[in-house]
Amino acid sequence: MLAVILAGGQGTRLRPYTTTIPKPLVPVGSRAILEIVLMQLRKAGVREVRLAVNHMAELIMAFFGKGQKFGLSIEYAIEDRPLGTVGGLTGIPDLPENFIVMNGDVLTDLDYAELFRCHVEQRAELTLSTYRRTEKVDFGVLDVDVAASRVVGFREKPRLDFDVSMGIYVFNRRLLERIPRDRPYGLDQLVLALLDRGTPIHAYPFSGYWLDLGRPDDYDRANREIARFLPEEGE
């Protein structure tokens, strides 16, 4: 398996942590976020990684090098300007028929090998890993019949359940033909284009551990719970 890791963002949501270091190098416990991700990918059977970098790229490249210390072969795709979440994929050469694409700030116990197997088995062009999230609304929520100017329902601080993208995908190489070259293009645009064409998108529901470390609350939680991923951190 090969994985493309999107590591070019500026990490604005994690400031001030990211004021002087790029988000992939922000520590969780005693290890960088991206270092933990690489260790998990190698354990799942990934041997080749392409790192898409932009912001503070030289620091990321100096830290991870060619990947030998992680048991991986790492190559870099340097974006001279931000190209969105998937816009830079078209500039990465020699991608295999199917490959993992993921954000570099995700902490999860997802089985990457099983995700990949399901994608290949479904012969999907795109597989999205999904997670059911519950959020509490801190307001009284009204149901309003606007035409009649009437309140028809009321819920005090409800809890809402919804499915979100985990930031971990599997692409078939055919998708690259649908991505415009040399301009920013996001996963949201790609998904909407596929839905508009009626192209099936495979969902991989996951109910285990998942944190988006771009959120300060989840980053703090990750530092409290890192021992479950790296037992030596708690020793």
pLDDT of residue 221 exceeding 90? no
Q: Residue 233 has what pLDDT?
A: 41
pLDDT of residue 230 exceeding 80? no
Q: Of all residues in the chain, what percent carry a pLDDT higher than 90? A: 58
Closest CA to 203 of 118, 93, 89: 118
pLDDT in tens, 147-157: 999 999 999 99
36 to 6, 7, 32, 217: CA distances (angstroms): 15, 14, 7, 19
Which domains can be identified in the chain, with CATH numbers?
2-130+160-234 (3.90.550.10)
Q: Do 210 and 166 touch, CB atoms closer than 8 A?
A: yes
pLDDT in tens, 100-139: 999 988 889 999 999 999 999 999 999 999 999 888 999 9
Long-range contacts of 219-228 (CB under 8 A, 24+ apart): 219/14, 219/17, 219/26, 219/28, 222/28, 222/107, 223/28, 223/29, 226/28, 226/29, 226/36, 227/29, 228/109
pLDDT of residue 228 exceeding 80? no
Place 234 in a pLDDT band, splitting at 50, 70 and 90. Answer: very low
Q: Mean per-residue pLDDT for 158-176?
A: 95
pLDDT of residue 19 exceeding 60? no
Instruction: Supply the mean pLDDT for the chain.
Output: 87
How far is it, in rounded angstroms, from Cα 191 to Cα 202? Answer: 11
Q: Residue 183 has what pLDDT?
A: 84
pLDDT in tens, 21-78: 777 888 887 788 899 999 999 999 999 999 998 877 888 899 899 989 889 999 998 8
Q: Residue 9 has what pLDDT?
A: 60
pTM of the predicted structure, to 2 decimals: 0.85
Strand, helix or coil for residue 54: coil
Q: Residue 213 has what pLDDT?
A: 78
Place 235 in a pLDDT band, splitting at 50, 70 and 90. Answer: very low
Q: Mean per-residue pLDDT for 201-223?
A: 86
